[in-house]
Structure 1
Amino acid sequence: MTSGISPIQLTLAASLLASAALFGASPASAEDVTLTVWDWKSGDPLAAPYFEQAKEAFEAAHPGVTIEYGMQPHDQYYTVLGTAITAKQGPDVVLLHGGARTKERADALVKLDDSIADIRDGLAGWGEFVGEDGGAYAIPISIQGFAIYYNKDLYEQAGLDPENPPRTWAELGESCEKITASGVACFVLGNKEGYAAEFFFSSIAANSWTQDEQDAWAAGELNWTDPPVKKILELWVESNEAGWYPPGANSTAMFMDEFEAFERGDGANVIGLISDVAHWKEFEDFLGADKVGVFRPVALEAMDGDLKLPVAGGIGYAVTNWSPNKELAIEFAKSLASQENLAEFFKTAGAIVPDKGFDVASVESPGAATILGWIGCCSASMAHNAIGTAELEDFHRQSQLLLNGDTTVDEAAAVLAKYRSAN
């Protein structure tokens, strides 16, 4: 007989009981303070040195203060956090994705504008961590984006020039024909959670939408039934019907099954991240730096000038508005974005950091150096960041139905259009 208590509830209960024991006592003195920090990354072996360095330095500078990391499962993180927000108990500091994940929780967070004047100009990526009022509610610790990584050996096997990847949709289609004829998938794909559709959507939008269209989409003025948006849904279906992906994409998890398939050589291309996971460092460490290429998402038509890389503020730390130690929590959140700590984050986890003073010249990885160069010259917004949570969940479902042939582009666009029409 089971207790009926879920793992999520147990995780939260343990955290809240610890908080109650601390917060329910008499106010903690400056010599006896524990800051509870929630995230989904501190237990990652590659990221752990960054978190440990930040903890040790802060505790050394603040005798009597203890930093306590509480890593939550990534797939349950926002459910657990939502329960804490409802109870107004739990962590002092929380890690958040940029975009809707931060904006929709701003009411539960401390507005940071008055506390970040000394670091604001030195960091990029603030735009993804603002609320409806335009105020900053989290401090960025990474820049995230989508790039297409490819296996140079598989390009050569297919008779392609590995030093000249495609720049247009037509060129990509021609490459995919040759790659699939050589016996491997053109792209590995894991859309079990619908994440692959997000990657595809923002990648295509980066070089197919004008700046006015990007701005209209972010403002909610461009809808799913409008031609620039519906076109991306059509290409999602077209690429699947052309056989670019292996069978069973909707049953394959993106993290980490899709990316492990790329590392095994099951497909020649993958739309990956640029920062701290499923990215240049992971692929270069596994396949060899000389075997991994990277290119920006293609344009629908031939274009003059540089292609754009979709980038945005990646993840950032916020302070909860129920924390009894807000000033100390803000100070720790700021320390996580210090030059010294961010340098460690890049070194060990391969995070593309928001530090504007980062020493790009010291970067040895060819992939990282290329990506950092693109960020400096040729970036576009990540369109999926402007999709609300409920809308994004429905987009995930519609993307799966489209891959299965269980709905049409017009039907899917009409379903999704209701979210924007209601705003």
Structure 2
Amino acid sequence: MHSTSLAAGKKSRSVRTMLAGLAFASMTALAGPAFAADATTIRVLNWEPGGADYWKALVAEFEKQNPDIKVELETVPFDRYPEVQGPYITTKSGPDVMENNAGLELFDRRRAYAELPPEVLEAGKDLITYSGGCLNFDTSKSCYGLPFGYQGNVMYYNKKVLTEAGLDAANPPRTWDEMGAACEKVKAIGKTCIAIGLSGIFPAYWNFPEIARNYLTEDDMRAMLAGKMPWTDPKMVNVLKGLASITEKGWTNSSAPSITMLPDGADIFQSGNAAFAGTIISDAVNWAAFGKVLGDENLGAMRWPTIVADAPLANSFSGIESSVFGVTDWSDKKDAAFKFVKFIAGKENAELLTKIAGGISLNKNVDPSVLPKSQALSQILEIIKTPTLHAGVLLSGQEADALARGWQEVALGRLSIEDWTARMQKALEQSPSKRQ
């Protein structure tokens, strides 16, 4: 009886020990998600500049350095970005961090952003420039975001198509007349000369600055920023005429008025069906992306051909910081969000941008020798040595929209230059950011 009770007691203790162990294991299993739930999750609205692989690496590195912060991305196509971002700004809800292009696009939306505190702006000291995130491009004034890369426009060309058309691929067109002659030969082999899409914001950012350099000085551009350069000025009218001539001369794909440059126009170029495409030096439609598809040996980069060869800025580069990231005014996770913005401008992210996305970093501490080898990139690095202001980012949202919509209608023969000019002037007058 006693031995039986002892055995029963031992068995009972064994069961209790096992149950206790199972309970501890269960609590431990539950503790994992509980601890993860303690991490701060920030939402980042973006259009994935640099591509998916770069952003995957960016988030992984940030979370590694900040294990108490998790990043949730909301990625939308660039051409749909305003329609997604707009309701968030109107309702003052949604993401903790948002992306915008430097310049007036950001300034127009600055009430949606928290001003960057000094400890975050410290990261700006390692950048070549960050003024595009600061009001009126002045770093002594309020700043609402930090950039991570250098941006600007070039024209890419497919050497294989030029050779097929009987052109000298080593000497692409340098003037408007030379471009016209080249386009006739390209069209003769059944291909598009300049791949382009006129829907969305792209004409304002990628095409307008390259025509504007032929007619405007830097003082003119600063007057544009201040709203003191009327579209009725002969210089501005000439810019519109220059844009219109691209489609009027038949240099582009017939679908231009109905498609966007990204992805549609870029797809025409990288499919090998166009000789030229005007895009950007960084992000997703750059030399790295085109070279990967076309073959680096077939890709070249050049300045846009000049219309007025002796214009002071005709042979300059329209340069600007790439998009900037800022913290939303309504975020209740500002400390974590500011850490992300600071990381965006840091050396670790700059190296990821360079190595993975082929972007040209603004961070002074990145060794330029880590840039990949590419002939098109080498050409770009020469082009950017003579920068000027980027006229596109000096346009208000109203002007950028009127520019794209007007060009679409001009290309379809539904709008005159005079009426386009009047629309642009009305857009200027209705722009809040230029009436301050």
- Check conservation: 2:126, 2:364, Cα contact below 8 A: yes
> Does 2:188 match 1:181?
yes
Give the alignment of 1:90-169 within 5 angstroms: 90-131=94-135, 134-169=141-176
1:304–1:381 Cα change, 3 Å: closer
Q: 1:200 aligns with which of 186, 203, 207?
A: 207
User: CA shift at 1:310, angstroms?
Assistant: 1.1
Alpha carbons of structure 1 residues 30 and 240: separation in structure 2 relative to 1, 3 Å: closer
**Deviation at residue 126 of structure 1 after TM alignment:** 1.8
2:304 equivalent in structure 1:
297
TM-score (norm 2): 0.83
Say whether residues 1:331 and 2:339 are aligned partners. Answer: yes
Hey, what does 1:235 align to over in structure 2?
Answer: 242
Q: Which moved further from structure 2: 330-339 or 198-207?
A: 198-207
SS at match of 1:119: helix
CA drift of 1:90 comes to: 2.2
Report the TM-score when normalising by structure 1: 0.85
Q: Secondary structure at the match of 1:331?
A: helix
Name the residue aligned to 1:361: 369
**CA apart distance, 1:81:** 2.7
Is structure 2 residue 70 aligned with structure 1 residue 66?
Answer: yes
Gap runs ≥5 in structure 1: 1-27
Q: 1:356 to 1:149 in 2, by over 3 A?
A: same
Q: In 1, are the aligned partners of 2:49 and 2:283 still within 8 Å (CA)?
A: no
Asked if 1:264 corresponds to 2:271, the answer is: yes
Is contact 1:167–1:302 with CA below 8 Å preserved after alignment?
no
Asked if structure 2 preserves the Cα contact closer than 8 Å seen for 1:42 and 1:69, the reply is no
**1:130–1:30 CA distance, 2 compared to 1 (3 A):** farther
Answer whether contact 2:200 2:401 (CA < 8 A) is retained. Answer: no
- Between the two proteins, the alignment pairs up a number of residues equal to 392
* Structure 2 SS opposite 1:417: helix
Matched letter for residue 41 of structure 1: E
Q: Aligned with 1:101: secondary structure? A: helix
Are 1:280 and 2:287 an aligned pair?
A: yes
Alignment correspondent of 1:55: 62
Q: Give per-residue Cα distances to partners, 1:323-370, cap 9 Å, x unaligned.
A: 223233212210122111221122222222221233223321222232
**Rounded Cα–Cα distance in structure 2 between residues aligned with 1:96 and 1:241:** 32
RMSD, matched Cα: 2.6
Inter-partner Cα distance in structure 2 for 1:72 and 1:192:
17
Distance 1:218 1:43 in 2: 28
CA deviation map 1:101-136 (0-9, x unaligned): 211121121111523342222113422212368311
Instruction: State the match for 1:342 in structure 2.
Output: 350
Match of 1:374 in 2: 383
Partner of 1:220: 227
Higher mean alpha-carbon deviation, 221-230 vs 48-57, is at 48-57
Q: What is the CA-CA distance between 1:266 and the residue it aligns to?
A: 1.5
Structure 1 residue 200: deviation in Å?
1.8
Distance 1:215 1:197 in 2: 17
Q: For residues 191 and 163 of structure 1, what CA distance do their matches in structure 2 show?
A: 29
Segment drifting more, 278-287 vs 324-333:
324-333
- Cα–Cα, structure 1 residues 70 and 357, in superposed 2: closer, same or farther, change >3 Å? same
Aligned partners of 1:145 and 1:254: how far apart in 2?
A: 15
2:192–2:275: 8 Å Cα contact kept in structure 1?
A: yes
Percent of matched pairs sharing the same residue: 29
Which residue identity is paired with 1:232?
V
Q: Which 10-residue stretch deviates more, 311-320 or 366-375?
A: 366-375
Contact 2:155-2:303 at 8 Å conserved across structures: yes
Extract unaligned runs of 5+ from structure 2: 1-34
| Secondary structure at 1:312 match in 2 | strand
Residues 49 and 344 of structure 1 are in contact (CA less than 8 Å); yes or no, is this contact kept in structure 2?
no
CA distance in 2, matches of 1:42, 1:407: 34
> Deviation of residue 207 (structure 1)?
4.1
1:328–1:86 Cα change, 3 Å: same
What is the 5 A alignment of 1:30-41? 32-41=39-48
Q: Alpha-carbon deviation of 1:183? A: 2.8
Task: Show the counterpart of 2:13.
Answer: none
Query: Structure 2: how far apart are the matches of 1:421 and 1:390?
Result: 9
Q: Structure 2 vs 1, CA of residues 30 and 369 (structure 1 numbering), >3 Å: closer, same or farther?
A: farther
- Distance in 2, Cα, partners of 1:161 & 1:180: 16
Equivalent residue for 1:405?
A: 413
Q: Is 1:31–1:65's contact at 8 Å kept on the other side of the alignment? A: no
Is the Cα contact below 8 Å between 1:124 and 1:313 reproduced in 2?
A: no
Q: Matches of 1:370 and 1:53 in 2, distance apart?
A: 32
* Deviation per residue, 1:213-261 (Å, 9 max, x gap): 2222222221222122111211222222222112121122322121111
The answer to whether the 8 Å contact 1:276/1:352 transfers is: no
Whether the 8 Å CA contact 2:197–2:264 is kept in 1: the answer is yes
Query: Are the counterparts in 2 of residues 50 and 345 from structure 1 also a CA contact under 8 Å?
Result: no
Distance 1:167 1:43 in 2: 29
C-alpha distance in 2, partners of 1:76/1:263? 22
Decide whether aligned partners of structure 1 residues 52 and 289 sit closer, same or farther in structure 2, where only a CA change above 3 A counts.
same
Q: What's the counterpart of residue 12 of structure 1?
A: none
